[in-house]
């Protein structure tokens, strides 16, 4: 049922994944997050502008193979020599697009998530930071390339529960803006393909480097908050 959502291109799917609940099971326990921040990436075979920021921008390779695979499955990659990142594959098989899950709120299994994070960094971690940022999120969930890449998101070890569209009530406005860490025009205002729940403390910080494009946030049509709460949310993150 909800699986069909992933037949759409990532740009369409991304905002609909906000407020979704994702559980990842492991022998040592389960961790569940509520998704608060995502980014869309297109690729070969997908409609829309050429996405120079996508791993699948030109062709299929060993690393990005899962992005060309069946929708509703995971694409996990390893980057910067130390982090894993979790994506949800979109578009029909053969066409490459995906949604990077950038941040979430740990709603159950916080103890285990904390253990996993602390194993790498000794200091105590604020609950809101447990799954803040793609690398931290994957670590908190115990997601790795060798065990999770290419796996069905609707079957163990994953369990994905999408919000019912008719009942969806994001806790804040749904905002969008440029993607984080993407170089060149694909990382600028022409590609406002990052979506997040405004004002949510678990959304990752935007850290523009020197000379980077200024951050331009827009209200997304999916927003449902009352006008009174918009003022506060407009400045986040």
Partner DNA sequence: GTGAGGATTATCT
Partner DNA sequence: GATAATCCTCACG
Q: Kindly state the smallest distance separating residue 167's Cβ from DNA, in Å.
A: 28
Q: Kindly state the smallest distance separating residue 229's Cβ from DNA, in Å.
A: 20
Residue 77, judged by CB atoms within 10 A of its CB (0-12, 13-18, 19+), counts as buried
- Judged by beta carbon, residue 135 or residue 170, the one nearer DNA is 135
Distance CA(115)–CA(196), nearest Å, equals 26
Distance CA(136)–CA(148), nearest Å, equals 16
Q: Kindly state the smallest distance separating residue 123's Cβ from DNA, in Å.
A: 5
Distance CA(16)–CA(11), nearest Å, equals 10
Closest CA to 52 of 190, 208, 209, 175: 190
- Judged by beta carbon, residue 118 or residue 155, the one nearer DNA is 118
- Judged by beta carbon, residue 206 or residue 223, the one nearer DNA is 206
Q: Kindly state the smallest distance separating residue 194's Cβ from DNA, in Å.
A: 10
Distance (Å) of CA 48 to CA 42, 45, 181: 8, 10, 21
Interface residues with DNA (CB under 7 A)?
39, 41, 53-56, 58, 61-64, 67, 75, 78-83, 85, 87, 98, 100, 117, 121, 123, 129, 132-137, 145, 179-183, 204, 207-210
Distance CA(106)–CA(91), nearest Å, equals 28
Q: Kindly state the smallest distance separating residue 138's Cβ from DNA, in Å.
A: 8
- Judged by beta carbon, residue 58 or residue 165, the one nearer DNA is 58
DSSP-derived 3-state class of residue 83 = strand
Distance CA(46)–CA(94), nearest Å, equals 9
- Judged by beta carbon, residue 169 or residue 210, the one nearer DNA is 210
């Amino acid at each position: 049922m909800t699986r069909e959502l992933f037949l759409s291109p990532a740009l369409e799917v991304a905002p609909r994944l906000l407020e979704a609940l994702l559980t990842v099971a492991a022998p040592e326990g389960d961790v569940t997050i509520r998704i608060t921040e995502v980014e869309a990436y297109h690729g070969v075979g997908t409609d829309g502008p050429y996405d120079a920021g996508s791993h699948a921008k030109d062709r299929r390779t060993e690393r990005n193979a899962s992005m060309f695979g069946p929708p509703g499955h995971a694409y996990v990659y390893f980057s910067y020599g130390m982090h894993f990142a979790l994506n949800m594959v979109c578009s029909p098989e053969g066409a490459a697009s995906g949604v990077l899950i950038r941040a979430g709120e740990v709603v159950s299994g916080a103890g285990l998530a904390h253990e996993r994070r602390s194993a790498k960094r000794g200091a105590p971690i604020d609950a809101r930071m447990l799954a803040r940022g793609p690398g931290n999120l994957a670590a908190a969930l115990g997601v790795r390339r060798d065990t999770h890449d290419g796996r069905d998101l609707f079957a163990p070890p994953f369990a994905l529960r999408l919000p019912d569209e008719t009942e969806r009530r994001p806790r804040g406005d749904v905002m969008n803006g440029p993607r984080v860490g993407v170089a060149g025009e694909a990382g600028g205002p022409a590609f406002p393909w990052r979506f997040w729940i405004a004002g949510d403390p678990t959304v990752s910080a935007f850290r523009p480097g020197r000379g980077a494009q200024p951050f331009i946030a827009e209200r997304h049509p999916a927003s449902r908050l009352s006008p009174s709460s918009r003022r506060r949310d407009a400045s986040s993150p």
